[in-house]
A = this chain, B = another copy of it.
């Protein structure tokens, strides 16, 4: 298969390197990723500034790689439009930091995968915990290879993202793989006033992550040592309440 790899940690991130190293043994790979760190950029796109595209050499990899002066979603858009012919699947990651629950709304990694499905290309987003050791990235890369196979065999539709998270534990300790829904993640103590600035009213983000541990969600299973897989879609319509709201008006 021809795979486009991207991420939101930048083209030089170790996650992209380890993922490509594993996948280029089996697939035709092109990397198109942001020129630098673009975490928490969500699904933002560059509409006013031009995008600068540079071919870059990534030591130890045989695949072609390009850096783009934009967001992860920009990378997918310009790759599909201008750089790579006929992409079979987009793989976004391996992200440094989980993308679990409603936190995926902030994620550049997941948004790049969602952008792929808007271009009618199925996609996989993959993340591990931010403090993970090297072997976690290697585990994640091997899981992605298997998930690509399974997705291809079963005909993953071109409007579906599989969001994958891999716990930062040794392979022998991983309990298995769970397909599950996303949970709700809330944050508390968002902002702390910074009194060192005498001219402006300044706040700094010092959030504490509070996960609602509903059973059978991604946050729940990852804490139990499972790799989690959640199929996502781009339609934010709340069909569960659509008919009710219709009656209101």
Q: Which A residues are within 8 Å of any B CB, using their own CB?
A: 39-47, 50-54, 73, 77-78, 81-82, 102, 104-106, 108, 111, 114, 118, 150-151, 153-154, 157, 160, 162, 177, 179-182, 184, 186, 190-191, 193-194, 197, 200-205, 229-242, 245-246, 248-249
Residues of B within 8 A of A179 (CB): 242, 245-246, 248-249
- Enumerate 6 A-B pairs (CB-CB under 8 Å) in ascending A order: A40-B44, A41-B42, A44-B106, A53-B203, A118-B184, A231-B241
Q: Is the CB of A50 within 8 A of B186?
A: no
- Knowing that A54-B200, A150-B249, A181-B239 touch, tell me 13 more A-B residue pairs with CB under 8 angstroms: A41-B42, A41-B44, A47-B205, A50-B202, A51-B191, A73-B106, A102-B118, A162-B245, A179-B242, A179-B245, A181-B235, A229-B245, A233-B238
Residues of B within 8 A of A43 (CB): 42-43, 105-106
Q: Is the CB of A77 within 8 A of B118?
A: no
Residues of B within 8 A of A82 (CB): 190-191, 193, 203
Interface centre among A150, A237, A240 (most CB of B within 10 A): A237
Q: Is the CB of B106 within 8 A of A45?
A: yes
Partner among B45, B204, B230 whose Cβ is within 8 Å of the Cβ of A237: B230
| Residues A50 and B118 in contact in the complex (CB < 8 Å), given A179-B246, A234-B102, A236-B232 | no
Q: Is the CB of B81 within 8 A of A238?
A: no
Residues of B within 8 A of A231 (CB): 237-238, 241-242, 245
Q: Is the CB of B191 within 8 A of A81?
A: yes
Nearest CB of B to A49, in Å: 9
Alpha-carbon separation in the docked complex, A73 to B102 (Å): 14
Residues of B within 8 A of A108 (CB): 44
Q: Is the CB of A160 within 8 A of B232?
A: no
Nearest CB of B to A199, in Å: 9
Q: Is the CB of B205 within 8 A of A46?
A: yes
Identity of the chain B residue whose Cβ is nearest the Cβ of A105 in the assembled complex: B43
Residues of B within 8 A of A41 (CB): 42, 44
| Residues A233 and B236 in contact in the complex (CB < 8 Å), given A45-B106, A118-B102 | yes
Nearest CB of B to A51, in Å: 5
